[in-house]
Structures are given as C-alpha cells and as structure tokens.
Structure 1
Amino acid sequence: MVNNNNRACIVGIGETPYRRWGTVTEESEFSLACKAIMAAAEDAGLPLSEIDGFAAHSDDRNDPARLEVTLGIKQLRLASMVWGGGGGGACASLSNAVAAVENGSANYVVVLRALCQGQQFRYGQFHEWSAHQKFSSPYGLFSPPGQAAMTFRRYVHLYQLEEEQLARVPLACRANANRNPNAVMYNKPLDLETYLNGRMIAEPYRVYDCCLETDGACALIVTTRERAADLKGKPAHVLSVGQGGDGRWGTGNFGNYNMPDDIFSLGPQRGLANELFAKAGVNRDDVDVAQIYDAFSGSVFTTLEAFGFCGEGEAGAYIDDGNIDAGGSLPINTSGGLLSEAYVHGLNLLVEGVKQVRGISTSQVKDAKVCLVTAAPVTPSSATILGSEPN
C-alpha cells in the first residue's frame, strides 16, 4: 500500500508553440524537447538539475543521455520508454513515471513527447520500412486514415450512424481550438456545411475527421505529494493510471480484423476503464471533463462506450444530445484535441487535463475536479484519471 505522501502528482507542464509539419524552422526536434522540459520545470519551480528521470512513448528520439548533458542534470536514475508506436502509450509514459516516483526509483520524472515531422518523416505517409505497412499495402491500405476507417465503417454499419452525428466531434473540437491561442486551428472556425463539403479521405472519414500533422513538444514533471509541497506548481493528482488492453486484440494495422464480433468495433479498453475507475474511487458521473484520443473522429465514439459513459452503439445519440460540447455533461478535448490543437501523439491531451484540474484552460469547465485522459484505442492502450484533490 503506497503511503499517501508518496502518491504521485503532476507539478509542472510545458509546451512549445505548435505548427503544421514541414514549417521552415531552424529549430531541431531536440531543441523543441528541451524547451518544453525547461518550461515544465519553470512552471513547477524546480531547478533543471533536480530532474532525475525521463519517460517517453512512441519511439521518441530525444534520448535521456543527451538530455542529461544538455540540461545539466546531476544524476540520471530513470530512462523509460513505452514499447510500440503511435498514441497508445500517451498515458503509459505517465504510468511509468508514477511507478518510479512512488517506489523511490526517481524523485522528479519528466514525461516527454517531441515531434518534428518537418525534419524527420510524416506519420501519415507510407513507409516501406514499416512491417505493419508492408503487410497492409497489398490491400491498398497505404496510410493510417484508410486503415482506421475500415474498423469504424463497421461501426457505422452496425449502428446506422449519420454523417451529421460524426461531424459533432470535429465541430466540438474546433470550437474549443478557436478559444486556444496555441492551437493550430485557433483562428479557423468550422461549421457543418464546410465539414460536409470536405473531401472524403477514406469513408466515412472526411478531411476534418483526421488529426493534424504538426511539429511541437510538450512535457510534464511528476513527483510525490510530499515533494510537491515545496514547489510552486499547483499539483494535479494522479488518482489512477494504467496501461494494457483486453485479450483477443492484436496491434498494428490489422490488430482487430480477426477479432470476435463482440469487440470488433468497440476496441480493447473496457477492462482498463473498469480498473481505472475502481482504483481512483470515482464513478463515471464524477468525471467533469475528458480528453479523448481523437486521431480520427470515430475513436471518440468507441471510447465513450468502452469507458461506460453510454451503452454500446449509443454514442451517436449521446453526442447528438450535446454532452461533449462546452456546457454539456462531459465536455471533451477542451484545447482542440488532436483534430484541432496539435498532434503530439496524445501527450498534449494530458497537458490539457492538468490545465482543467488546475482551472486554467482556455475552455475551462466550471469547478472541474476530475478529468479523464485516454490514449489511442489500440493494444497496448493507456489512460489516467486526474483530480484537483487527492483521493
């Protein structure tokens, strides 16, 4: 049993400006990573030299040895990377950091993701070196939208989802982004007519259903409640965090295409969700706001169902009732999400979750005390429940 003083919390957050991929810049991906870490340390009131651990996901290229030397860290005690690519590890890196500070392996752990597609490669393109893409390319699936669309097309068929219902997700995210000066789509409103006139990428996904491709970095600093008392950053308490996925579910481009029908369209998050709520000691009704991984609009529908906010096949009606909009019962992606703020493999959703429980979001939910943050609905997936107060 973890001593309450040793329970983990997030004490610092930092972001760089987000920009479309390929923007001409002299800044390297490593420079962006360092700037985000420095901003998080400043937010926490923590000297950079006191950082002693790093946790990252999605094959982040900014290795701890270089960061240690560059930032002047006195001692490196943790260097952790979540296996696999994509956004499934967006909260799993937090899980590794939490475990480290709670068991004494490290004192102040940075959770980091930096992405500079303009200088490296685009995730939305076909890559001949990818084993997954080599397997899928003979079937005409050359990019993530086509691969993701196949699964969600089954959902649309099963539950007769209307295109206007699907539109509610990107419209809600864009409205939030229009209030967020750091969002790539800050000054670009979106209405239903424009959405419906958007070009079809892979049925049922139009261009506005697909996440942005951006460059940028964000970072968080995790420590114990006891150490947080000596810092200036208002802590966001990690009520629970976990990673994993339901059995019978694979990974990669065809991760679910041989799955039984009962989980084919829903995804592998139900078991994870139940464990998280039990550990946090909160119910679904206690969640004031959620940051749901939205690389594609459809994942919001299946995640709402997998996490129990509505029944299977009921997300269309739930969203239609305005629940995910500002002022609804469960506002989502209040920074704009991956669809309209930036695509940083989901870590920016975690940063926004901290802002909500601190009360400083640009689309702040009144009296928000509990925030759910989810990663991509793949295997392994991950998620966390943050609170303004400890449990």
Structure 2
Amino acid sequence: MSTLAAETLANRAAIVGIGATDFSKDSGRSELRLAAEAVQAAVADAGLQPSDVDGLVSFTMDTNTEIAVARAAGIGHLNFFSRIHYGGGAACATVQQAAMAVATGVAEVVVCYRSFNERSGMRFGQVNSALVQQVNSSGTDNAFSYPHGLSTPAGFVAMVAQRYMHEYGATSEDFGRVAVVDRKHAAANPAAFFHGKPITLDDHQNSRYIAEPLHLLDCCQESDGGQAIVVTTPERARDLPNRPVSIAAAASGSGPDQYIMTSYYRPELAGLPEMGIVGDQLWAQSGLRPDDMDMAVLYDHFTPYVLMQLEELGFCGRGEAKDFVREPGALEVGGRLPLNTHGGQLGEAYIHGMNGIAEGVRQLRGESVNQVAGAEKLVVTAGTGVPTSGLVLTV
C-alpha cells in the first residue's frame, strides 16, 4: 500500500448527494435514460446544478459513455472521466477514483453512476457464450471453464462455497441466515423490490437449487435501475444542504493468481484474498478497525461470499463466520453488526453494489428506513470473486 495514499486520501473528499431510479424487473426505459435520471436525482439531492458537475466515473460494463450521460443529464464540459473494470468489483472504486480526482484538484464535483436493464435486457445470471468468444485475455480465461459446463455466476460461486463448507463446517442454513436478514430489512424498505415480503429460513431451505449448494434464495436479484453518487471536496460540502459523509478510506485490490470469478488455482480456495487486501488498506487509511464499525454493507450477490467477507475484513477469524451469523440478531438493527439495512442485492435491488453505497450514506445522514441508532462509521464493499474495492464512510 502506498504510504502517500494513506496520508493524503483519507477524509479528503465527501459524498454529498445520492440519487436512484425506481428498481424493477422491466423499466420500460433505455439504460441511458436510467443513467440520466439517477445522475440528475443525485445532483439535485446534493443541492447542485448539472452545470456544477465536472467529472463522471462509471464501470467499463456500463453501456453509457460519460459524454452521452453528460449530454442527457444537462452537464456541460468535463475535466475528468474514468471507468473501472471487473463488474461489481468496480462499485466502491468509482468513489475511490472520484475522491482521488477531487483531492488532487483534477475536478471539483464528480458523479459516479451505474445503470442497466439487467432483468429485462441482458441477464448476467444466464449462460453467455459471447464471454468465451471475446478476442482478449478474458475470453481465453473463460474458454477453460465454459466447455465443461461451468458457465454461470452461480456455478462459479458454488465451487468455492462447497469447499468453504468442507473446510469450516458451514451449512446451507448459515448462508440462509444472510438471506433472511436481507429480506427482513428489505421488507421495511419501500424502495426495495421485495418490500413487504420477508422470508423464513424454511423458505430459504425449500427454494430450489440453482447450483448446489446455492438455493434460489442464496442468489441476488436481476434488476433494472440506476444509481448515482456525488463526490466533492470537504470545503464545498460544508456549504451544501446535506450532512457530508466523509470518505475516510477508499481502496481497491486484486489477489494473487486472480481470475474473474474462477480463481480456483490458488492454495486457498475457500477465501477471498482480494477482499483481505482491500480491508487491510481500509483499516490503515482510516485508522479504524472492524470493531469501530457501527454496521456494514457487504456485497451480497451470493450469500456464501458474505460469510467470507466477514472473515477477510477481520470481523471474525477464519472459519468463524458461521458462528457469527448464528448469533441471534447479530446482523439485525440493534445487533452486533447490522448488515445491509436496505435489504442488499437480495432484497432491495441488484445495481452492481452502487445502491449499497447509497444506503451507507443514508445511514450516516440518519435517513435510513432501518436506521442504526448513532451510526457514525461503516464499511461498504464491492463485488466478490473478482478484483474488488471498498470504502469506510464516517461523519
């Protein structure tokens, strides 16, 4: 980790606005319109005008170029634009790059955005032979697994989950406890697709297998929607209407012998070392520790990876996450570590983790529908199984 980054990035930028579209299974709008709506909503929430924005950051997977979003949202010229690779692993890295831009004076107001019609359009959970046909290194990597039938995200994760269960004694019920908590929180969230629809552990266990040991209710939703986040300097943030949320740490990282969802050739299969690398940077930058966190927003596209993140980030020891989640109420509001209080990607919507960042902001503003009393410090993570990123946010 760069010593310079640790000394200069912490608390040098703040999140001042969040905005989203509705979350649905069929938006009826183009992905560009979703992006523009989310960006405009976030800018308005920040008390700014589109003309104030001079930077945009998104995912390489987003279909909307920065200049197209700028035109559609009424933004003028741009001093900064950037894209981050690795799917959901990019979520917190968009905020990291925005923070670096404003901390170094490259830009003053940067909006991070992600939008897609991931349910009514291209569905990430399905077999996609185009991934093998890419004429690049990713196409070559995928060509090792696809011909053997290992060709969906659930299948990729199932391999790791089986090994994790074998090594540490975790059970399907332990994974299900994450799903039950997410859906409980989503049930109280009017913006969640599964608002008013909690589940029980029996519901989880009785849901069909997608790729054993993963049940349907271990897998995130497929959603249409958009989310945007506004980042600016602490100085400008003080003059805006919302309570500024300080970016106390922002990090990204990849592990040794890293692949995209198929890192099967490392000595330790039952772990997420890339998240450990991100966590080490977060704690060093922020000067905080896991025990300082009032809650966590952990990327939950598949429930087993939530348990592994608890271990990689230091909330418990290796193999101890099963005991952590078995503690009654541990992950609920008022518990040891309230988790995904918006409902996560299992309950609210799958927007590649960007909606999790927004929930972190709401918690620190005191505006969440499942508010954690006195929340002042929290951690947010991005996609797992891929090179990833994370944030520590504080007030």
TM-score, length-scaled by structure 2: 0.93
Structure 1 position 375 matched with structure 2 position 382: yes
- Structure 1 residues 216-255: aligned runs within 5 Å: 216-246=225-255, 248-254=256-262
Judge conservation of contact 2:376–2:394 (CA < 8 Å) in 1: yes
Aligned to 2:134: none
Q: Distance in 2 between matches of 1:145 and 1:104?
A: 42
Distance apart, 1:138 and its partner CA: 1.6
Q: Distance in 2 between matches of 1:143 and 1:323?
A: 31
SS of alignment partner, residue 383 of structure 1: strand
Distance apart, 1:119 and its partner CA: 5.3
Deviation beyond 6 Å, 4+ runs, structure 1: 1-6
Structure 1 position 336 matched with structure 2 position 343: yes
SS of alignment partner, residue 332 of structure 2: coil
SS of alignment partner, residue 290 of structure 1: strand
Q: Distance in 1 between matches of 2:181 and 2:119?
A: 28
Aligned to 2:55: 53
Distance apart, 1:377 and its partner CA: 2.4
Aligned to 1:125: 126
Deviation string 1:76-133 (CA, Å, 9 cap, x unpaired) is 111100023x211110111110000000111100010101125541111111110254
Distance apart, 1:26 and its partner CA: 3.4
Aligned to 2:309: 303
> Relative to 1, partners in 2 of residues 1:278 and 1:3: Cα closer, same or farther, differing over 3 Å?
closer
SS of alignment partner, residue 172 of structure 1: helix
Match of residue 147, structure 1, among 145, 148, 156: 156
Q: Distance in 1 between matches of 2:289 and 2:271?
A: 24
Q: Distance in 2 between matches of 1:164 and 1:64?
A: 43
Judge conservation of contact 2:150–2:156 (CA < 8 Å) in 1: yes
- Structure 1 residues 190-339: aligned runs within 5 Å: 190-246=199-255, 248-254=256-262, 256-261=263-268, 264-321=270-327, 322-339=329-346
> Relative to 1, partners in 2 of residues 1:8 and 1:157: Cα closer, same or farther, differing over 3 Å?
same
Q: Cα RMSD over matched residues?
A: 1.7
> Relative to 1, partners in 2 of residues 1:384 and 1:3: Cα closer, same or farther, differing over 3 Å?
closer
Counterpart code for 1:372: V
Aligned to 1:78: 80
> Relative to 1, partners in 2 of residues 1:87 and 1:3: Cα closer, same or farther, differing over 3 Å?
closer
Structure 1 position 12 matched with structure 2 position 21: no
Distance apart, 1:68 and its partner CA: 2.0
Q: Which moved more, 1:132-141 or 1:323-332?
A: 132-141
State how many pairs are aligned.
Answer: 381
Aligned to 1:352: 359
SS of alignment partner, residue 274 of structure 2: coil
Distance apart, 1:378 and its partner CA: 3.2
Percent identity reads 39
Aligned to 1:31: 33
> Relative to 1, partners in 2 of residues 1:105 and 1:161: Cα closer, same or farther, differing over 3 Å?
same
Deviation string 1:247-296 (CA, Å, 9 cap, x unpaired) is x2312242x211013x6434322222112111101121110010000000
Aligned to 1:159: 168
Distance apart, 1:167 and its partner CA: 1.2
SS of alignment partner, residue 370 of structure 2: coil
Q: Distance in 1 between matches of 2:297 and 2:11?
A: 26
Q: Distance in 1 between matches of 2:220 and 2:384?
A: 15
Counterpart code for 2:324: Y
Aligned to 1:180: 189
SS of alignment partner, residue 72 of structure 2: helix
Counterpart code for 1:311: G
Deviation string 1:126-175 (CA, Å, 9 cap, x unpaired) is 11110254432222112110111101110001111122222110000000
> Relative to 1, partners in 2 of residues 1:33 and 1:134: Cα closer, same or farther, differing over 3 Å?
same
Distance apart, 1:72 and its partner CA: 2.7
Q: Distance in 2 between matches of 1:226 and 1:334?
A: 30
Q: Distance in 1 between matches of 2:178 and 2:206?
A: 16
**Unaligned 5+ residue runs, structure 1?**
none
Counterpart code for 1:363: N
**Unaligned 5+ residue runs, structure 2?**
132-138
Aligned to 1:43: 45
> Relative to 1, partners in 2 of residues 1:344 and 1:229: Cα closer, same or farther, differing over 3 Å?
same
Distance apart, 1:325 and its partner CA: 2.0
Judge conservation of contact 1:58–1:87 (CA < 8 Å) in 2: no
Q: Distance in 2 between matches of 1:53 and 1:27?
A: 24
Q: Which moved more, 1:374-383 or 1:358-367?
A: 374-383
SS of alignment partner, residue 48 of structure 2: coil
TM-score, length-scaled by structure 1: 0.94
